Amino acid sequence: MNAPPPTLIGEITAKLGKKWSSWLFAGLAISATGFGVLCLAVLLFVVARDGLGGLDWNFITSFPSRKPEDAGILAALMGTLWVMGLTCLFFVPVGVGAAIYLEEFARRNWFTKLIETNISTLAGVPSVVYGLLGLAVFVFGMNLGSSIVAAAATLTLLVLPITIVASREGLRSVPPSMREAAMALGATKWQAVWHQVLPAGMPAVLTGIILALGRAIGETAPLIAMGAFTSVFFVPTSPTDTFTVLPIQIFSWVARPLPGFQENAASGIVALLIVLLLLNSVAVALRYMYARRRSW
Amino acid sequence: MTTITMRRIEAKFSQKPDNSMSNGSASKVMEVRNLDAYYGNFRAITDVNMPMRRNAVTAIIGPSGCGKSTLVRCLNRMHELSAGGRIEGQILFDGEDINAPEVDPVELRSRIGMVFQKPNPFPKSIYNNIAFGLKINGFRGNMAEAVEGSLRKAALWDEVKDRLKDSALSLSGGQQQRLCIARAIAIEPEVILMDEPCSALDPIATLAIEDLIRELKEQYSIVIVTHNMQQAARVSDETAFLMVGEDRSGYLVEFDSTEKMFTNPSHEQTEAYITGRFS
Amino acid sequence: MAFLFLCAVLSVVTTAGIVVVLLAEAIPFFTHVNIFDFLTGTEWRPLFANKSFGALPLLSATAMIALMAMAVAFPIGLLTSIYLSEYAPSWIRETVKPALEVLAGIPTVVYGFFVISFIAPTIVRPIFHSETIFTALGASLAMGIMLIPMVASLSEDAMRAVPNGLREGAYALGANRFQVSVKVVVPAALSGIVAAGLLALARAIGETMIVTIAAGGIPNLSGNPLEPMQAMTAYIMEVASGDTARGTVEYQSIFAIGMLLFIFTLGLNLIARWFIGKFREEYE
Ligand SMILES: Nc1ncnc2c1ncn2[C@@H]1O[C@H](COP(=O)(O)OP(=O)(O)OP(=O)(O)O)[C@@H](O)[C@H]1O
Ligand SMILES: [Mg+2]
């Protein structure tokens, strides 16, 4: 045999043997996977360690304060509820409407293609850029100021792409036979979609909506970019009020060097994560429902 | 550990596996004994017993879902890669149980090659498709020669010799399947398993592969699953006929020389299936 | 129907809106500041009396932090995806994937907190002896962790799209799991994996809260990861959270920086789409 001159790597692999290099790699891959899970565990541990202690009724029902031990998240929590409620009012009909149009009615032409490419590109635009858009268009252009509506409108644009993509997947999972069955009974396309397809695809569509809402709740940068306040000492009462939200409140505490404020930040994070957890358990329940329905 | 591996590799490529008729033409290269194969709790085949003769073509026929694919995938321990895949019973290769704890399935598969229903060339060049198997098995000889040799054996050399660097995906379906055969024989296996190798091909490509199978049995032992009765009759020396039972589990109805099976089967079911009176 | 159509068209309007808004403020900015000086200047002093708008310190900070984050996220994410798609038994996959989804769903302001309260004081400072807890390195480590799930899930999708026949073909030739994964599946999924990396890089460039909280916010061209730095997004945060009046050069400057961000991320996204298209062509 005229063996080629052995290379270093070839030599090592031959020495280690096929089996050993395989085990080494498996170990590496398992460690990498474990690393991600470990990071999550450490992160949650650190947050819980620093934050659980301070999360009491007082913290939930107080306004921010110069003294860390008096400070609370009342304004931020209410602000989050206001902004999210209004955001839902905007993005749900628009997102689901766009999904229905694209999935059920749109003709396959260049314009539809343009819209689709555009949606997937928009999903990659940094959120802070949406904040600049909101600042120029809603805050100044429409003279809404740094208000709850302006924030909701900005967040709506931000989460529309994810909503549309997820809702379309939901609609697509409804078998075509369902539309045909309805239309064979004399229903118009519109009736078929409204009475058959939408209800059937609803769990998946709802899951997409919750996903988008979860994203919106955690967003900080676009709201700061559009001038949201960091310290608010009242509970908003109308959509045109100024506001703050939980992540911004957390940010303003993280940015202060006093250790007490770091603990406030951690407690605020626990509150934020609990809100997200509640939201996600709804999503999980829906997904479960959906999986059961599909297996029938 | 290292020395054993190296010795095996050298043995494998320096001296050709002993495929000669010295053990007598009736010698069994493989044998299946009381084989049950499961997917999770579902038993896909029940109590199959059959030999596979050296330097012969053994055909496996039977209706869809009777477990033909499952059976051949047990022979090179590919079955255990399926979800929930496990077996009971014995499979002997050169007289040794392939499921014994000391047998490395990876090494086993380099001695029992396999060709699949759908041609599955790697998305690499024609040359590298063949070289891949050689490299992962530690081949140290002249790669170009080895590639040419196996392409010649697979009757593909003349068609591809000027385009070895092209993507294998640019070949026609029949050429791709012959490339897969070349890829399998490049690493000098003793047995080649073929699971409906022609079902995705047109009649002319099918005939080319059948010719190839007849040539290859000079050097290798071949097990071929086929849906096509004429094909079984044309290429095989021995045939196993499987049926699927009440419990959806496949079982062996009859195993015999192909000639006997197609002229004078012992079972009524076999005759019904072969003559097409099968419901 | 018309309403549905308008909903769909809104996305195009949004894109147009972004471009118009960014240009509307960036163009006046470039009448004050020479675009060439902007792109090559090494001094970024927008808020002092003798203003200077050389964006290199911000650009280099963004590039450095994003690349260091990718150096963490890409190998770990790729190995994770290989493990999940080629090695893991289904019960592990079913457990790890939701955990990674949770990691991906955690708001980035929390990662910023994580740097300040854990990564910087217990990892970066003791090991690398940085002078402050606000370092580019600390921010990029957290960003790397944040991006792992994204790289892992996108590349896993790509690997799962590789037809099973290729794996079986390789196993049947006597390849072991390592060889099947690294020599067959990864090369076959390569364009999808490259796309995953590009999308994650775009995300890293646009990521705002981690760098704002954890990287220190001082324009710095030193290239030393153990010093504080200000990334492009962090500068936008700084100006926006202050009370800068509309129409001033500082106000316009955040739109100029925003435009650069938009161009970079858009470019990366388009290249990634191209790779994804190529991947789909191969396997669908
Ligand atoms: N991965 C799997 N998991 C569970 N059951 C399987 C799996 N693969 C095959 N089966 C079942 O095992 C039985 C035998 O399947 P197999 O593929 O071996 O049949 P076959 O004879 O090759 O059929 P065909 O002629 O259609 O290829 C069938 O009932 C099939 O549904
Ligand atoms: Mg089969």
Following DSSP, what letter does each residue of C73-113 receive, concatenated? HHHHHHHHHHIIIII--HHHHHHHHHHHHHHHHS-HHHHHH
Note the ligand closest to the C-alpha atom of B194. Answer: 2
Ligand 1 atom closest to Cα of residue B248: 29
What whole-number percentage of chain B has pLDDT above 90?
65
User: B257 has which bridge partners?
Assistant: B238
For atom 14 of ligand 1, the residue with the nearest CA is B67
Token pair 């063996």 in the structure block, residue: A3
Q: What is the pLDDT of residue C270?
A: 93
Comparison of pLDDT for A14 and C254, the residue scoring more: C254
Q: Is residue C245 part of a domain?
A: yes
The overall average pLDDT reported for chain C is 92
**Is residue B235 in contact with ligand 1, taking CB distance under 6 Å?**
no
Taking the centre of ligand 2 as the mean of its atom positions, its distance from the CA of residue B248, in whole angstroms, is: 15
Whether residues A131 and C112 touch (CB distance < 8 A) is answered with no
Tell me which H or E stretch contains B33.
Answer: strand B28-39
Residue B34 scores a pLDDT above 90? yes
Instruction: Give the closest residue to C175 by CA, choosing from A15, A22, B195.
Output: A22
Q: Which of B36, B42, B231 to mutate to test the pocket of ligand 1 (most atoms within 8 A of CB)?
A: B42
CA distances from A15 to A29, A154, B9 (A): 21, 60, 13
pLDDT in tens, B152-193: 988 899 999 999 999 999 999 999 999 999 999 999 999 999
Q: What is the pLDDT of residue B13?
A: 47
How many domains in chain C?
1
Query: What ipTM, to 2 d.p.?
Result: 0.93
For atom 30 of ligand 1, the residue with the nearest CA is B65
Comparison of pLDDT for A241 and A18, the residue scoring more: A241
What whole-number percentage of chain A has pLDDT above 90?
44
Q: Which residues of A149-166 are buried (b: 16+ CB within 10 A; e: fewer)?
A: bbbbbbbbbbbbbbbbbb
**Is residue B41 in contact with ligand 1, taking CB distance under 6 Å?**
no
Q: Which residues contact A88 (CB under 8 A, 6 or more apart)?
A: A209, A213
pTM over 0.80: yes
Q: Is residue C16 part of a domain?
A: no
Average pLDDT over residues C26-55: 88
Whether residues B107 and C174 touch (CB distance < 8 A) is answered with yes
For atom 3 of ligand 1, the residue with the nearest CA is B39
Q: Is residue C132 part of a domain?
A: yes
d(CA B154, CA C188): 25
Q: Is residue C102 part of a domain?
A: yes
Half-sphere exposure of C105 (CA within 13 A, CB side): 21
Q: Is residue C115 part of a domain?
A: yes
Q: Which residues of C touch B78 (CB under 8 A)?
A: 168, 171-172
Average pLDDT over residues A125-145: 93
Average pLDDT over residues C42-52: 83
Residue A3 scores a pLDDT above 80? no
Residue A43 scores a pLDDT above 50? yes
pLDDT in tens, A62-99: 887 777 777 788 888 999 999 999 999 999 999 999 99
DSSP sequence for chain A: --PPPPPHHHHHHHHHHHHHHHHHHHHHHHHHHHHHHHHHHHHHHHHHHHHGGG-SHHHHT----SSGGG---HHHHHHHHHHHHHHHHHHHHHHHHHHHIIIII--SSHHHHHHHHHHHHHTTS-HHHHHHHHIIIIIIIS---SBHHHHHHHHHHHHHHHHHHHHHHHHHTS-HHHHHHHHHTT--HHHHIIIIIHHHHHHHHHHHHHHHHHHHHH--HHHHHTT--S---S---STTSB---HHHHHHHHHTS-SHHHHHHHHHHHHHHHHHHHHHHHHHHHHHHHHHHHHH-
Q: Which residues of B touch C163 (CB under 8 A)?
A: 120
What are the residues of chain B with a beta carbon less than 8 Å away from any beta carbon of chain A?
A: 1-2, 5-6, 13-14, 104, 106, 136, 138, 140-142
Residue B4 scores a pLDDT above 90? no
| Domain span at C57 | 53-148+199-265
The chains in contact with chain B, meaning 3 or more Cβ pairs closer than 8 Å, are A, C
pLDDT in tens, C188-216: 999 999 999 999 999 999 999 999 999 98
Taking the centre of ligand 2 as the mean of its atom positions, its distance from the CA of residue C10, in whole angstroms, is: 50
Q: What is the pLDDT of residue B14?
A: 43
**Is residue B82 in contact with ligand 1, taking CB distance under 6 Å?**
yes
Radius of gyration of chain A (CA): 25
pLDDT in tens, A149-194: 999 999 999 999 999 999 998 888 888 888 888 888 878 888 888 8
Query: CB neighbours (10 Å) of residue C46?
Result: 19
Ligand 1 atom closest to Cα of residue B227: 25
Q: What is the pLDDT of residue B6?
A: 37
Fold of B2-274: Rossmann fold (3.40.50)
Q: Which residues contact B11 (CB under 8 A, 6 or more apart)?
A: none
State whether residue C81 is helix, strand or coil: helix
Q: What is the pLDDT of residue B22?
A: 43
pLDDT in tens, C99-153: 998 899 999 999 999 999 999 999 999 899 888 899 999 999 999 999 999 999 9
Residue C283 scores a pLDDT above 80? no
Q: Where are the domains of chain B?
A: 2-274
Whether residues C240 and A227 touch (CB distance < 8 A) is answered with yes
pLDDT in tens, C123-138: 999 899 888 899 999 9
A270: distance to nearest CA of chain B, Å?
A: 40
Q: What is the pLDDT of residue A258?
A: 79
Note the ligand closest to the C-alpha atom of B244. Answer: 1
Q: Is residue C85 part of a domain?
A: yes
Choose the closest CB to C118 out of A42, A121, A250: A42
